[in-house]
Amino acid sequence: MSTQLILKEDNPVLFWQAWEDLVGSQGCSSRYFRISLEHDILIAKIRGKHFADKSFVYLENNRPLAMAFLPVEKIGDYYLIANDINDGYVDAPICANEAVEKKVYTMIDELARNHHIAKIMLAINPLEKKPVGYNYLQKYDYLDTTILKFVIDLSAADLLAGCRKGHRNDIKKYLQADSIRPIIVNQDNFNLDLCEQYKLLHYKCAGRVTWPQEFFESQYQKIKQGIASLVGLEYEGRNVAFSYFEHGNGEVIYASGADDPDYDKLPLYHLMLYYAMTHFQRLGARHIDTEQPASPSAQWDYYPDAKQHNIAFFKRGFPGDYLSQFRGVKYYNDAVFEQDVENFKRHYIDSIKSKNYVAQQ
């Protein structure tokens, strides 16, 4: 049996050919699409954290059987395999079988030692094609940092009926109103002006320029390629809110949203999410991953404040359920581990206290 390791930094053309072959054969979500990984690297560069990319594809007999996205970020004096846009966590390697998986995690350990990596942060997407029943990262000595994610279920015939009563009433109030209508921007009707309005609402909502133009250009490219969409609201002739979704192979990811604070008395996100649910249901999607914050309580390396608790509570008002977001951290440096222990001690109690201000289910 012949084996081959294609490193992205050595041969990017061959790497992407093998990577995209494996994405197709494994039916991976949009998280593993080339443009998504390039977007993540772009964000790390914008934030001044990107140091290197040690990603690889593993082949046996010229057949790609595993792929690992391994961006290296420099934080202070230390090098981490981490993804700043995803709460620090990198989507775990995709492996064709358990025997290959063992080889891949051994390779990652060797890479970490050779490049003085202090910490690796990995997350397992429970919605990937192969169901995951447990946190297999523990087999490779990763410290379990699992939290919960909330996933909207699009299988119900009546999505509105599955909403929490308060959400249902807020949505019904405006659903038939002439003053408000949904906006959909996708590959079929790409509209740069609407995309730019989404960007400007980001700035207005935050009160500052949040991201440079190249960040939004990357998102627009995803829309043009058919793996992202904008769902927005027009109210009395003004575009007052947009939410950005990424999608592929049946999974939809609710990635971000922006609204006009002048209209904060309206249930903008209730309506946008409902319109998104009905839109993606018609396209055959099975779930919407609402991303974090969604987990209801503080855990190791997850410390939601009062605002994030409120956002998580809002998301859980739509039809769906919790899934385990298996995550793991592996430390190769004692000082970095000790820093994270101190961080846990500092932030855990504050997060628990902040929950006292959140309405409970």
Cβ neighbour number for residue 359 with a 10 Å cutoff: 8
- pLDDT for the residue 130: 64
Q: Which pLDDT score is estimated for 361?
A: 43
Contact between 244 and 257 (Cβ < 8 Å) = yes
Report phi then psi at 59, rounded to 5: -125, 150
Integer angstrom CA distances of residue 202 from 37, 41, 46, 259, 304:
22, 21, 17, 7, 22
The H or E element that residue 64 is part of is strand 63-68
Q: How far is CA 240 from CA 197, 208, 260, in A?
A: 9, 17, 5
DSSP character string of 255-305: EEEEE-GGGTTS-HHHHHHHHHHHHHHHTT--EEE--SS--SS-BTTB---
Going along the chain from its start, the domains and CATH numbers come out as 3-123 (3.40.630.30), 156-285 (3.40.630.30)
Q: What is the pLDDT of residue 34?
A: 96
- Ranges of H-type helices in the chain: 12-26, 34-46, 98-114, 165-175, 192-206, 213-224, 268-282, 306-315, 334-354
- Paired with 147 in beta bridges are 325
User: For every one of its 361 residues, what pLDDT tens digit does the chain have, with 9 covering 90 and above?
Assistant: 799 999 999 999 999 999 999 999 998 989 999 999 999 999 999 999 999 999 999 999 999 999 999 999 999 999 999 998 888 999 999 999 999 999 999 999 999 999 999 999 999 988 876 667 899 999 999 999 999 999 999 998 899 999 999 999 999 999 888 899 999 999 999 999 999 999 999 999 889 998 999 999 999 999 999 999 999 999 999 999 999 999 988 889 999 999 999 999 999 999 999 999 999 999 999 999 999 999 999 999 999 998 999 999 999 999 999 999 999 999 999 999 999 999 999 998 888 887 765 444 4
Alpha carbon distance 267, 237 (integer Å)? 17
* Whole-number Å distance between alpha carbons of 272 and 198: 13
Q: Are 174 and 181 in contact (CB under 8 A)?
A: no
| Cα–Cα distance, 184 to 244 (Å, whole number) | 10
With H, G, I as helix, E, B as strand and everything else as coil, classify residue 151: strand
Per-residue model confidence (pLDDT) at position 129 = 62
